[in-house]
A = this chain, B = another copy of it.
Amino acid sequence: MTHRVINFYAGPAGLPLPALQRAQDELLDFAGTGMSVMEVSHRSKEYEAVHNEAIALTKELLNIPSNFKVLLLQGGAHLSFGMIPLNLLRNGRKADYIVTGNWAEKAYKEAKLVGGDNVRLAGSSKDLKFARLPKAEELNIGQDSGFVHFTSNNTVEGTQWKEFPKTDKPYVCDMSSDIMWRPFDVSNFGLIYAGAQKNLGPSGVTVTIIREDFLEMCEAQDLPSYLRYKIHAEKDSLYNTPPTFGIYLLRNVLAYNKSIGGLSAIEANNQQKASLLYGCIDKHPGFYKGFVTEKADRSVMNVDFFMPTEELTATFVTETKKAGMVGLKGYRDIGGIRVSTYNAVSVKDVETLVDFMEEFVRKNG
């Protein structure tokens, strides 16, 4: 029996066991080729079938309209932070960025490097330590805005846009830490990007979903080709050698997602996990204190909370580890505990943690 722990890491994070087992089984001989999927040409029919299936499953699971392209790129959200303004903010186009956390602020600063004054701050909750999202009346989105950038889930702070920001402008969104947590309407988005390493697969693959009119904005002929969305779209993400093993694992994860009932089943799991965790926190307000100040903004993917002392926090981390649960230490700038409950974390995993939390209050509260 293989030793496995309960993985609450914030990313790279746990992956569904069947997706990994499939990879293990065929690591030396993939699709009867007598080679690892890593060893076959990206132009081979065997690899192309995997590549196309990963794209088709992304479209199917997210119910992506036909006027979008799914791209499988590299460089994570960080490279996307730069590619977005380089592709979309030439010719004086303007954009409004909502800054709701560590990653949203990085996206904004990186866009500013390229776009300067054309990149505007539509709203920020930094003064509140990002402990809630800005309210509708706190947002200032220009009528001349080409798009509104936001971060759908704030991994560090544990806030999440359950209802997306109110605007009639198209969204550009970093969904790295919550894509595929539930169904949503893709049609209002001009561009969605997500590093795979939380809900989708291993690090090194960036799933990018781009609407045709946004592709047409990418007219920058003087940009190096790798940085141009349009070139990747024209070549179905085979312009250059893609990260074939990462895409293969993405395919395995998506096929597993489909097999368990798709995003509505996954959402039900995620809601149940969140309600178990927040239920426990709310039950013991004198002991567990959530970081997020507005219940409506609480993330279903990352649950941040504090305990009365740093010593108790350290004990909590040590004892959960002994009990086979890892990755619970809070982000360095915030401290406390962070429970990341991405799709691969089961309800049973969270029940185990919540049982531990109840016991921990009884002993230490």
Contacts and interface: CB of A to CB of B under 8 A. Distances in A.
Given A28-B4, A225-B110, A241-B203, A38 B12 contact: yes
Contacts of A205: 204
B227 A82 contact: yes
Given A41-B9, A204-B246, A327-B41, A222 B113 contact: yes
A15 B39 contact: yes
Interface stretch (A18-26, A125-133, A165-173): A18-26
A343 to B, nearest CB: 13
B246 A41 contact: no
A24 B21 contact: no
Contacts of A225: 78, 81-82, 110, 113
A244 B204 CA distance: 7
Nearest to A243: B204
Contacts of A224: 79, 81-83, 85-86, 110, 113-114
Interface string A230-270: 00000000011111111001000000000000000000000
Interface stretch (A29-37, A62-70, A185-193, A349-357): A29-37
A2 B29 contact: yes
A10 B195 contact: no
A214 to B, nearest CB: 18
Interface string A306-327: 0000000000000000001011
Given A204-B204, A225-B82, A27 B23 contact: yes
A105 to B, nearest CB: 13
Could you say which of A20, A38, A249 has the most chain B C-beta atoms within 10 Å of its C-beta? A38
A74 B78 CA distance: 11
Nearest to A244: B203
A197 B245 CA distance: 11
A39 B12 contact: yes
Contact of A2 (B21, B28, B222, B244): B28
A7 B35 contact: yes
Nearest to A38: B202
B5 A35 contact: yes
Contact of A3 (B3, B32, B75): B32
A17 interface: yes
Contact of A12 (B41, B75, B204): B41
A12 B226 contact: no
A76 interface: yes
A81 B326 CA distance: 40
Contacts of A324: 34
Interface in A78-114: 78-79, 81-83, 85-86, 110, 113-114
A177 to B, nearest CB: 12
A40 interface: yes
B204 A74 contact: yes
A289 B38 CA distance: 32
Nearest to A223: B113
Nearest 4 A-B pairs (CB), nearest first? A82-B224, A204-B243, A5-B34, A78-B240
Given A5-B35, A74-B75, 7 more contacts: A4-B34, A14-B39, A17-B28, A38-B201, A38-B203, A79-B227, A82-B223
16 contacts: A2-B29, A3-B32, A4-B29, A15-B36, A20-B27, A24-B28, A27-B27, A74-B79, A77-B240, A81-B224, A85-B224, A195-B241, A202-B244, A203-B245, A204-B204, A245-B245
